[in-house]
Structure 1
Amino acid sequence: MFAPDALFVLIAASVPCVTGHYVFSRFLFNNTMTEQWEYYMPFYDIYSPDVRCGRGASTSGPGSKTATVLAGDEVGFVIGRSADEPMEPYIIYHNGPGQAYLSRSNSYDLSSYEGDGEWFKIASLGAKNDTWWLTRDQTGMNFTIPPTTPPGKYLLRVEHLYVRPAFNTTQFYIACAQIEVLGNDGGGARMPGPEFMAKFPGAYDFSDPGILVEERVYDWPSSGLLEYKAPGPPVWTG
């Protein structure tokens, strides 16, 4: 089992240490989760609002702090715990890509923002080569806040997909962190155009070729990974 979809931990160039669990990352919860291992389980329902940030995390913002980052900073998430690996280092070893999104809060109070606005993709970590994913055996995922990102308060969403060739079996591991982006308050800042925007739910479909993959993409050893097309809109780099 890959990582928890809850216990990702935010790191950033302007905050050069790895934080504890759920400091900036929103907490997962629902009325049925009573055991620790349940927080590590994959997510499947891409038509649920929980696909935004994980189970219950759209509304758990008041329990999280907001990290300050600069436009152009490198940020990332590391694995906080793995269900099958009781000892560190926890690594990503399921087959699949990783992606990152931003959604600007429509409220000054970021903690109350449920991610129901528009999202834009800022990174997609696909294939290292035709047989190996960039995410495989890594302890986390890093990506850059586009340098022209306008100042404001955002949800920063990370996901890892364990892609599979059967309908509705691809596993999603999702987390959101609360960030405030500083810098670029002059003429260089701009929001991405509509072709880069998406909403969750709605951005993905079970039949997307990046979700319902060919057998060769799933089988071990994998092949044909360089032909893989991730779901969702194109990456906006600013």
Structure 2
Amino acid sequence: MRGADVFSRFVFNDSVSEQWEYVRNITLGTAADDSAVFDQYMPYYDIYDANVRCGRGAATSGPGTKTATVLAGNEIGFVVGRSADEPMEPYIIYHNGPGQAYLSPSPPNTTLDNYTGDGEWFKIGYLGAKNDTYWLTRDQTGMNFTIPASTPPGLYLLRVEHLYVRPTFNTTQFYIACAQINVIGPGGGKPGPLVKFPGAYNLSDPGIWVPDHIYEWPASGLLGYVSPGPKVWRG
């Protein structure tokens, strides 16, 4: 195993949090290619399970997680935390693939700490190809996105995912995390399209089950890659 792109640190107001301070903690997982490797930093595969919302066990790890206040229109980010076999910082996004970010408002009469993410989500960011052979995420320490300026104020789960895209069916790896945020600002926007997790993706989506040339190193044709999920809402 080499690297694990787990996003445990949240970036807002020009500062980087401690691990799992604003990001919901995840539980242990087993490596798909080696059942003896059991670590918190394993990727996720089952896109039809509820854990695809925020990562393994994160639906119940809200209590005790801090909530960051973020001004709509500002940039936020996620930074890779400790990797299972990389004891020294800085950690980088090692695997090949795109990154995406989603928001889901906490329902009325539900505290954000206890919101499981079973409501509706809308996509606010996508990081795809830098050019035809290189991903924007490759060799970066994290991913940055902007909260759309007209996002309705309120409490949200902010979901980030990085895909290690692969050409064999059901082997694309998902690295997923959710931060808890309070969005402030004028609002006025109507986010959409709205999706649910699970349900937004299928294993046969061309952005998940990719052709060989998207996976092989050096990759080619990345500008033709189509990400899974809805279009980005920009406010």
Q: Same fold (TM over 0.5)?
A: yes
1:150 aligned onto 2:152: yes
Question: Is this contact kept in 1: 2:5–2:94, CA < 8 A?
Answer: no
Aligned to 1:128: 130
Aligned partner of residue 142 in structure 1, secondary structure? strand
Aligned to 1:212: 209
Aligned to 2:24: 26
Give 5+ residue unaligned stretches, structure 2: 31-35
Question: Is this contact kept in 1: 2:5–2:162, CA < 8 A?
Answer: no
Deviation at 1:30, TM superposition (A): 6.2
1:170 aligned onto 2:172: yes
Question: Is this contact kept in 1: 2:53–2:198, CA < 8 A?
Answer: yes
Aligned partner of residue 88 in structure 2, secondary structure? coil
Aligned to 1:160: 162
Residues of 2 paired with 1:3 and 1:167: CA distance? 21
Letter in 2 for 1:51: V
Question: Which residues in structure 2 correspond to 1:1-238 (within 5 Å)?
Answer: 1-5=2-6, 7-12=7-12, 14=13, 16-29=14-27, 38-107=39-108, 108-185=110-187, 189-193=188-192, 196-238=193-235
Deviation at 1:127, TM superposition (A): 0.1
Q: Percent identity?
A: 66
Structure 1 pair 11–36 and aligned structure 2 pair: CA distance change class (3 A): farther
> Which structure features the higher share of helix residues?
1
Deviation at 1:63, TM superposition (A): 2.1
Give 5+ residue unaligned stretches, structure 1: none
Deviations 1:79-113 (A, max 9, x none): 11122322111001211000000000004510010
Residues of 2 paired with 1:136 and 1:64: CA distance? 29
Runs of 4+ in 1 over 4 A off after TM superposition: none
Tell me the TM-score normalised to structure 2 length. Answer: 0.93
Deviations 1:104-161 (A, max 9, x none): 0004510010000000000010000000000000000000000000000000000000
Residues of 2 paired with 1:30 and 1:130: CA distance? 35
The size of the alignment, in residue pairs, is 228
Deviation at 1:220, TM superposition (A): 0.3
Letter in 1 for 2:18: G
Aligned partner of residue 180 in structure 1, secondary structure? strand
> Which structure features the higher share of strand residues?
2
Deviations 1:17-38 (A, max 9, x none): 1110111100112699xx9961
Residues of 1 paired with 2:128 and 2:78: CA distance? 16
Letter in 2 for 1:175: A
